[in-house]
Chain A
Amino acid sequence: MSASAVFILDVKGKPLISRNYKGDVAMSKIEHFMPLLVQREEEGALAPLLSHGQVHFLWIKHSNLYLVATTSKNANASLVYSFLYKTIEVFCEYFKELEEESIRDNFVIVYELLDELMDFGFPQTTDSKILQEYITQQSNKLETGKSRVPPTVTNAVSWRSEGIKYKKDEVFIDVIESVNLLVNANGSVLLSEIVGTIKLKVFLSGMPELRLGLNDRVLFELTGRSKNKSVELEDVKFHQCVRLSRFDNDRTISFIPPDGDFELMSYRLSTQVKPLIWIESVIEKFSHSRVEIMVKAKGQFKKQSVANGVEISVPVPSDADSPRFKTSVGSAKYVPERNVVIWSIKSFPGGKEYLMRAHFGLPSVEKEEVEGRPPIGVKFEIPYFTVSGIQVRYMKIIEKSGYQALPWVRYITQSGDYQLRTS
């Protein structure tokens, strides 16, 4: 891949900050970007890749910003997009939220980061943990002139610095499973999948060697324990630190972790599971007068588990008014700017069934334009529970200084893209 320059534009297409890496595409070419984008949008042919003459614009949008990479080469698109997303990720770690204001307020750091992220159009150091070691946010304060030498840039293990010290050595393991669901208006499940991630929070001194044991079916079959309860993982992906060759050989997950938060691995299960929260809805629209909504939600998971922070958003016509609600539990709220009713239930035990009714008025003069049929969306979180039944069997931590470290494990199942279409 090779990008000639990277631009950050405001929502009107005005460059906020830019960096010319290669100098083979004139910087003024960016002026064509926004008119082109608007034109394509009007034609209904907008794509994340636009071209003007010999320049290609690869762009992504983040809140009220456009990030645009220009190139004149037949570049590798997925890599360029990955880089732009990586850039956003790094900025977000620095500024918490990335938007026009944060770029304006922090332009010095943005320049510094752009300088380190890429050189001559090629990505260089993009790991925000390493960047944070020598580009600090406090740089606005006066320094005494002794800047730190980036230690890791000379390391063999590029993702971890040497000489890390903690008073208490701990590892927190989060096993998070997101449920993606798409249900047709007639109630048939079109798509149901589980995307699992294992995230680690590492507070360990030195250069520890970690080994993670899961109830992986392939491993159990290899070691002849196939009677035990196990999970068949598909599409497993690891953080760079995991030794892939060892996993391929004997399914051992061994690694030297980066410091702090990171995602160790992700996996996917496409086995059909019963939708955890099932919704039945009746939305009756009486033109010129009113809309009647009835929503029934059912928790289809174990009785011992409880779903927290359940939010069911039900679409309503944009010209609806005077809402009235009745709920058997929780509270409902009309959010006119998103054209939805949000029914929130703080805790929703498995096996229970709840009901909400809503009533809206409609103006007697009907709107001209036709409206789409947005789906009902559901958000929830079920702690101490995984749909797949995955378990962390052990986490071994070995460091040459021989300290004892404690691993903590937490399981959560949550909603991913969870949609039920309405008719």
Chain B
Amino acid sequence: MPYLGSEDVVKELKKALCNPHIQADRLRYRNVIQRVIRYMTQGLDMSGVFMEMVKASATVDIVQKKLVYLYMCTYAPLKPDLALLAINTLCKDCSDPNPMVRGLALRSMCSLRMPGVQEYIQQPILNGLRDKASYVRRVAVLGCAKMHNLHGDSEVDGALVNELYSLLRDQDPIVVVNCLRSLEEILKQEGGVVINKPIAHHLLNRMSKLDQWGQAEVLNFLLRYQPRSEEELFDILNLLDSFLKSSSPGVVMGATKLFLILAKMFPHVQTDVLVRVKGPLLAACSSESRELCFVALCHVRQILHSLPGHFSSHYKKFFCSYSEPHYIKLQKVEVLCELVNDEDVQQVLEELRGYCTDVSADFAQAAIFAIGGIARTYTDQCVQILTELLGLRQEHITTVVVQTFRDLVWLCPQCTEAVCQALPGCEENIQDSEGKQALIWLLGVHGERIPNAPYVLEDFVENVKSETFPAVKMELLTALLRLFLSRPAECQDMLGRLLYYCIEEEKDMAVRDRGLFYYRLLLVGIDEVKRILCSPKSDPTLGLLEDPAERPVNSWASDFNTLVPVYGKAHWATISKCQGAERCDPELPKTSSFAASGPLIPEENKERVQELPDSGALMLVPNRQLTADYFEKTWLSLKVAHQQVLPWRGEFHPDTLQMALQVVNIQTIAMSRAGSRPWKAYLSAQDDTGCLFLTELLLEPGNSEMQISVKQNEARTETLNSFISVLETVIGTIEEIKS
């Protein structure tokens, strides 16, 4: 086929669609329409034939109708006026004798996503809700939600909501579930669909008739229901018991979550539930679908945080298989780590030992770190395995083993001797920054027990010029100084050389400063150096590197079966943070972004903020509205009275800041859009004596600081200082809220 630009294609298709001969031949007509859809699918702009396509919708051929309606839904937002012409046909089809046609027309009409269509779809939807075919009712029920979304944030139609609530008693299971979904969407401003006792019991009785999607959905809605009595609670749990063993993993997870939440006052019930879902969860962990397997593993890890050893007797199920994807293997290794107990430690370590020599360096390293984690409890066995691994003389293995040793020596001092014996020779197989740092640290802290420590460090000193990582140089400085204290004779000379290099030749400021610092420290006297560098040692019981303590089930029950455990809590926090910043998306109505961001300032902080102005002998006057012009003029005419930077990480919500400033009577004159870089804001405030404070906030791209410049129309230092402290407090509070 010769290449045709989309314009030529449109022209050609237009001609074909208008050709009465083609129109008369149904097969040919449909083929032309199919071609239009094919091009549309390929991303060509086919909106040019909208008129002709609208005409083609008047047909008895249902497939042709579907294609035309699909076309209309795609291009209606681009051609709203022309789309209105199609409404007529659609309305007519909504009363077609064939329920398929009625449903199709109604669904398409509700999906037109263009302004002004609401008034046309209202009546067809209402008719659809009372249609005798359940197929049409399903479409109409969801149509209500679509219509509501088209309205934007308009008020809720009470009559419609009532109608939907009554349709919860519909014969058709999908209509029932769609009603819940639709009500949830329509009532989302008011907290979603209300699940009272009659509705809850009705839904519970219908559960077995629903398909897996419906069951999962209803289980999710039931989370909202609060049983009146203990008796009712246990009745519900009994009724839903069989769903813990459903064949659909989604339903199993949904049921588990519901049980955990309903039984939040009964820890033994929660534990019992987790015992009962062990089987289904394990089955999901070896599911044929990798993705489901991954999700199940993430949830297993979540459960293990609260019930360590919960899956211990099944540890073999978490052994990795050769062909599994990476992300599953990594999860399994993490799980294995948490399952170790006196009985299985031997087998688990043996298995992990096998992974350490895997072809994939990432996986091998993860396995080594896992062994390092187990070493906190089973130190001797693990140190032995790790020492053996050093014998392989593989770079990617040695570096991770040495890092593991470093953490281990700190947490389990009893293994120091063994580690020190294993270290000699490692330096030949370490090239990366992390590994070098770990090795140098170990040599510095425990150098007195490692005979050749000074010589290894000497090699590093010799090559310091070609060393690329500043962090390694810093570590080297500290380590050599430490070793100098325990073995002065061997180290004095090279310490001198290293200090000379760092102070005279080094280009990295941090390294140079560290060198200078140690040099000056040495000048004070060796006793002082010892006092500062060697004691007191950090306390390993601080648990900085240790795992967080066991968490109660209730701390994660509400996150169960969402994306949170799948991403991991930490990762989720960063994702939702940057989502917070993007909430100002033009697609979303402004009001909802506020409702979603929760209380702007936590109560206790609010007090703090409001107290401050009084304490600083500064009284900012409310409602002092400056015009932007006046502000600009004053700003340009004044000199900067004070400038400072405040730490500032990541994204935030400018509106939050504006609100917070308003609380302390600081007006926002102008502000950049959220997320833009550089980001600027201009603020103004006035105190009771009439003194003006004009402020500029500036966030440079890539900088983690907020620069604040304040100008004042009367030079008064004390009020200036109190104004700045108010500003600091507000910004500090916002920073706290978002992190």
Binding site for B on A (CB under 8 A): 1-2, 15-17, 23-24, 26, 44-49, 51, 53-54, 56, 58, 60, 74-79, 81-85, 107-108, 111-112, 115, 119-120, 122-127, 134, 139, 142-143, 145, 147-150, 153-154, 156, 158, 180, 182, 185, 190-191, 234-240, 243-245, 248, 266, 268, 369-375, 417, 419, 421
Contact = CB atoms under 8 A, between A and B. Distances in A.
A81 B242 contact: no
Given A76-B250, A112-B63, A143-B62, A124 B138 contact: yes
Contacts of A148: 100
B208 A245 contact: yes
B315 to A, nearest CB: 10
A76 B216 contact: yes
B653 to A, nearest CB: 13
A115 B561 contact: no
A245 B566 CA distance: 33
Interface stretch (B317-325, B412-420, B430-438): B317-325
Given A78-B295, A107-B41, A248 B325 contact: no
Contacts of A122: 142, 177-178, 181, 213, 217
Pairs A-B, 3 closest by C-beta atoms: A145-B60, A79-B250, A237-B247
Contacts of A127: 211
A125 B174 contact: yes
Given A77-B566, A142-B27, 19 more contacts: A1-B213, A1-B217, A44-B326, A48-B295, A49-B566, A77-B295, A78-B295, A107-B41, A108-B67, A120-B181, A122-B181, A123-B213, A147-B62, A147-B100, A149-B98, A182-B316, A268-B279, A369-B359, A373-B322
A419 B578 CA distance: 44
A248 B463 CA distance: 74
B236 to A, nearest CB: 15
Contact of A46 (B101, B149, B326): B326
Most central of B142, B279, B563, B564 by chain A CB within 10 Å: B563
Most central of A17, A46, A111, A134 by chain B CB within 10 Å: A111
Interface string B121-161: 00000000000011100110010011001000000000000
A85 B290 CA distance: 11
Most central of A45, A48, A143 by chain B CB within 10 Å: A48
Determine the main DSSP class of B at the interface with A.
Answer: helix
28 contacts: A23-B149, A46-B325, A46-B326, A48-B291, A49-B563, A60-B290, A74-B563, A76-B216, A78-B284, A78-B295, A82-B249, A82-B250, A82-B292, A85-B292, A111-B66, A120-B145, A122-B142, A122-B178, A122-B213, A139-B63, A143-B63, A149-B99, A154-B134, A158-B173, A236-B245, A244-B208, A369-B359, A372-B322
Contacts of A147: 62, 98, 100-101
Contacts of B286: 180
Given A108-B63, A122-B181, A147-B100, A81 B289 contact: yes
Interface in B18-77: 26-27, 30, 34, 37-38, 41, 43, 60-63, 66-67, 70
B407 interface: no
Given A79-B216, A143-B63, A150-B135, A372 B100 contact: no
B444 interface: no
A420 to B, nearest CB: 11
A81 B133 CA distance: 30
A220 to B, nearest CB: 21
B21 to A, nearest CB: 16
B98 A156 contact: no
Contacts of B295: 48, 77-78, 81
A60 B327 CA distance: 13
Contacts of A417: 321
B225 to A, nearest CB: 18
Interface string B240-254: 011001111110011
Contact of A153 (B26, B70, B134): B134
Contact of B359 (A79, A153, A243, A372): A372
Interface in B359-381: 359-360, 362
A158 B567 CA distance: 36
B419 to A, nearest CB: 27
Interface residues of B, number: 95
Contact of A154 (B38, B133, B563): B133
Nearest to A145: B60
A235 B146 contact: no
B213 A126 contact: yes
B575 interface: yes
B737 to A, nearest CB: 19
B293 to A, nearest CB: 9
Contacts of A53: 578-579, 582
Interface string B506-523: 000000000000000000
A235 B247 CA distance: 10
A297 to B, nearest CB: 20
B359 A371 contact: yes
A51 to B, nearest CB: 5
B14 interface: no
Given A108-B67, A143-B61, A143-B63, A81 B578 contact: no
A382 B359 CA distance: 35
B561 to A, nearest CB: 6
B16 interface: no
B158 to A, nearest CB: 22
B561 A76 contact: yes
Interface string B201-226: 00000001101110011001000000
B294 interface: yes
Given A23-B113, A26-B587, A235 B283 contact: yes
A63 B254 CA distance: 30
Contacts of A47: 294, 327
A120 B62 contact: no
A118 B135 CA distance: 13
Most central of B63, B67, B146 by chain A CB within 10 Å: B63
A234 B526 CA distance: 71
A85 B288 CA distance: 11
Contacts of A139: 63
A111 B578 CA distance: 34
B324 to A, nearest CB: 10
Contacts of B322: 372-375, 419, 421
A54 B579 contact: yes
Contacts of A85: 289, 292
A51 B248 contact: no
A147 B563 CA distance: 42
Nearest to A53: B582
A82 B283 CA distance: 15
A119 B175 CA distance: 12
Interface in B296-314: 296
B291 A81 contact: yes
A234 B101 CA distance: 47
Most central of A24, A76, A78 by chain B CB within 10 Å: A78
Interface string B325-337: 1110000000000
A367 B252 CA distance: 48
Contact of B250 (A78, A112, A158, A235): A78
A47 B30 CA distance: 42
B98 A142 contact: no
Contacts of A17: 41
A239 B247 contact: yes
A86 B322 CA distance: 27
Contacts of B248: 82
A150 B62 CA distance: 13
B172 interface: yes
A357 B134 CA distance: 66
A119 B578 contact: no
Most central of A120, A148, A180 by chain B CB within 10 Å: A120
Contacts of B296: 78
Nearest to A142: B27
Contact of B135 (A26, A112, A153, A239): A153
B555 interface: no
